[in-house]
Amino acid sequence: MNVAAIFVAALLTRAKVYVRENWGAPFIMGFMLLLVVAAASVSMGLAGFADEAAVYPYYALLVGIILQLVCFLGYDKRSGGPDQ
């Protein structure tokens, strides 16, 4: 196995662990990606598409924030923090 494959495998493993601990992370990343798509659509003159495409990132952000809040509130219970 070459160095690049080992690096990619390690990166994917860390990403899986991060997403398992932070449920909202994929939705927040999706928010950023969809917002870039909407901005690129405006710059290409597709204002109608951009108007509709700009709505969905905010739904993704809302879901991501709610899931991050759920993970945050449950963090002390899972980690055995000072509250236990």
Residue ranges per domain, the chain?
22-78
Q: Is the pLDDT of residue 15 over 90?
A: no
* Measured CA distances, 47 to 51, 53, 54, 61 (Å): 6, 10, 10, 22
CB 28 within 8 A of CB 61: yes
Q: Looking at residue 60, what is its pLDDT?
A: 94
For 42-70, the pLDDT digits (tens) are 999 999 999 888 899 999 999 999 999 99
Q: Looking at residue 32, what is its pLDDT?
A: 94
Q: Is the pLDDT of residue 9 over 90?
A: no
The residue that leads in pLDDT, 83 or 44, is 44
